[in-house]
Amino acid sequence: MTEYLSEINYDKLIEKSLKNVVVEALRIAEFQGLPGENHFYITFKTNYPGCVISNHLRSQYPEEMTIVIQHQYSNLVVNRDSFSVDLSFGGVLQTLTIPFAAITYFADPHAKFGLSFSLSDDISLTPSSTAETIDEEADETPQKKASNGPATVVSIDSFRKKK
């Protein structure tokens, strides 16, 4: 039976809609690659349930990590609640699986676009399992790490090109 709400949480509804912007951007990259100079910085919680990364990366980034999806990525697969991508760390290809609910920051610097997210209970993108690690003995180089401030609502007008 459907649970009735005592109030509408507009912050959660907005965050859900903005998270879908990330999903759709990743789907574009999945099906056609990244157009032009677009590229993504994605910061996520490495200890979030359903996040799959190597032990080596988890030891380097026990809480949070930023990845860059630009020129050297492959096998980008967007699922209902997560995405996976193959990235090279120190010349060694690794597959990462990242739940959308684990993402705290998404940016496309070329488009001058960025979004911050809180890790509150997500309405539709819920984790389905516990955090997992892949045993990997590779020598990886650290990824650029972004600082994560509180989530903010961003007006889309600030990203539109002025005529």
Homologous superfamily of 10-153 in CATH?
SspB-like (2.30.30.220)
CA angle, corner 81, sides to 54 and 20, nearest 5?
Answer: 120
What integer pLDDT is reported at residue 91 of this predicted model? 87
**pTM value?**
0.72
Q: What pLDDT is attached to residue 72?
A: 87
pLDDT value of position 80: 92
Spell out, as residue ranges, where the chain has pLDDT lower than 50: 121-155, 159
Can you give the pLDDT at residue 128? 33
Q: Structural domain boundaries of the chain? A: 10-153
pLDDT tens digit sequence for 40-74: 999 999 999 999 999 989 999 999 999 999 988 99
pLDDT value at position 125? Answer: 45
